[in-house]
Amino acid sequence: MYIAVTGSKNNKDIYIYQSFRKENGKSSSRIYKKLGKYNALLEQFHGDVDKLMAWAKEQAAKETELYKQHTGKIAVEFSKTATIPLNERRSFHVGYLFLQNLFTQLRLDKICRAIKIRHKFKYDLHAILSDLVYARILSHASKLASYEYCQSLLEPPKYSLQDVYRSLSVIAEESDFIQSELYKNSNFIHPRNKRILYYDCTNYYFEIEEESDFKRYGKSKENRPNPIVTMGLFMDADGIPLAFDIFPGNQNEQTTLKPLESKILQDFNCSEFIYCSDSGLGSTSNRRFNSLGNRAYIITHSLKKMKKEDREIALNPTQFRKVGSQKFVDLRTLDETDEEVYNAIYYKEVPVVTGSMDETLVVTYSPKYKAYQRKIRTRQIERAEKIIATPCRKRKGKNQNDPMRFVKKASITPDGEIAEKQVYALDKEQIEKEEMYDGFYAVITNLEGNISEIIRINKQRWEIEENFRIMKTEFEARPVYVRREDRIKAHFMTCYMSLLLYRLLEKKLENVYTASQILGTLRSMQMTLLSTASGYIPSYTRTGLTDALHKTFGFRTDYEFITKASMRTIVKDTKQIKPKIS
């Protein structure tokens, strides 16, 4: 809207005019509001024409804003012949704004300021570390590609690529401090459930051939012939990562627990918890360490690796109880076609003395788990039969799920021939040996009492495996391309922070959506800049998930049009901690 003065010399009027477009497409203008007689208004301003016109323009601006608020509409003009400016970016990612809001609540800026005091660098560590995490979540790639990706964010980097590489050494050195502070501050977002802590290890490979520093040849979980590093990860009872560390790829996983757990005991103020892990990290030494103070443990236990006499006691079908009942049951008498029996879990407690430790072996039996194992094995046997029938070179089975473990080689001498001939057949003895364990599972613990709680705690171990899967597949934490030890640790620091941020986001969305849904939506959220209208329009699909994000974080990016001023306000709000309403 604009101001116009019309009329004769002694009879002028001041109007607010509004521009509009007619139905035929031609632009025009019309009187929107009359402000009054020119001479009368001029007297009110003591004859000062400049002050009068300034006031009139201010009124026009107010009416423009009120009109926008009332109608919510804006007119945009485009030209069929004009080209867009050379090298001007028009598309911007805004999905990071929700992550930025979480970082604000985690007080990452405060953490980075404390680090800067110790190191005296000039670059913006907060901006660099944030962007590295945004890029890892939204467009996982190398550090160079991440820097380039961040140019497409609504707030592009103001630091240089060299600053990114310089910061990696600082991030690595301050890794323990960052983790402990993030843990403390994460309680502002989601109170941490540290009653149960889960621990596990995985490894990540490098696209190189020679060992150096952390990068060592070891037992790869992906069976790759590359140097690897090992990551040890602690997770709380809600599936949120708590702490991590990196170890050489050839280091025994059993020895990775105590150094990291000791840091948690000292830096995280966690001293009373139940340690839960698999048998590969449940050595006698680790169990003894977690029986100290007010700590306890629940560790999976391999029935196959037990001594023969102990295994026979554990698998003996008598002396089992149904969870929730004190009545003894003989597993051989169960009618597993009955739905209630099929879905029930039965258990047996076997006292165990290991040195000075009194432990309990809890053996469980599940008809449903038995059916699942047999279904999987049937498919593996079918694959083994196809391999036998195929005239190709046979190999040895690599692991416990390889169908080749059911294939055995034998030598026969056909009638009338002298030389032996190699033939392959199903190893029925191996199949029967595995069937012995169908439906059975065991954990060893120093806890007493509620068996159903022990079973429940152990069942939740799948979440730490999912954490590793998210880091490896969704965030593509491997293969690792950086080479120096400090940069390797910084790389995994950003991967860990990405996982922490994602899990907190998942909790704020009340665990309704999957990882692929959440990450796919964040990655798709783009805005298109309309320079002619000084604002943005969304160029993504509005869904129930985008509505949930906007409702949860208290701002919206899905209006048909958002002015630059409104977008600046949104960005500003994501960087401010809102006071809690009591």
Residue 31 pLDDT level (bands cut at 50, 70, 90): confident
Looking at residue 546, its pLDDT comes to 96
Query: Does residue 417 have a pLDDT over 90?
Result: no
Spatial contact of 159 and 124, defined as CB atoms under 8 Å apart: yes
Return the half-sphere exposure (C-beta side, CA atoms, 13 A cut-off) of residue 93: 23
Dump pLDDT digits (tens) for 71-81.
566 777 778 88
Dump pLDDT digits (tens) for 360-381.
999 999 999 999 999 999 999 9
Looking at residue 582, its pLDDT comes to 36
What lies within 8 Å, CB to CB, of 422 at 6+ separation is 409, 410, 411
Alpha carbon distance 17, 488 (integer Å): 63
Kindly report which listed range (37-51, 70-84, 295-309) carries the lowest average pLDDT score: 70-84
Residue 24 pLDDT level (bands cut at 50, 70, 90): confident
DSSP tally for the chain: helices H, then strands E? 20, 19
Burial 532-544 (b: 16+ CB within 10 A, else e): ebebbebebeeee
Average pLDDT of the chain to the nearest whole number = 88
Whole-angstrom CA distances from 375 to 133, 338, 345, 384, 387 are 41, 19, 19, 14, 19
Looking at residue 224, its pLDDT comes to 59
CA 115-121-126 angle, 5° bins: 55
Looking at residue 68, its pLDDT comes to 66
Burial 42-55 (b: 16+ CB within 10 A, else e): beeeeeeeeebeeb
Residue 297 pLDDT level (bands cut at 50, 70, 90): very high
Alpha carbon distance 271, 427 (integer Å): 50
Looking at residue 71, its pLDDT comes to 59
Dump pLDDT digits (tens) for 490-514.
989 999 999 999 999 999 999 999 9
- Put simply, whether the predicted model's pTM sits higher than 0.85 gets the answer no
Return the SS3 of 108. helix
Spatial contact of 34 and 7, defined as CB atoms under 8 Å apart: no
Spatial contact of 84 and 91, defined as CB atoms under 8 Å apart: no
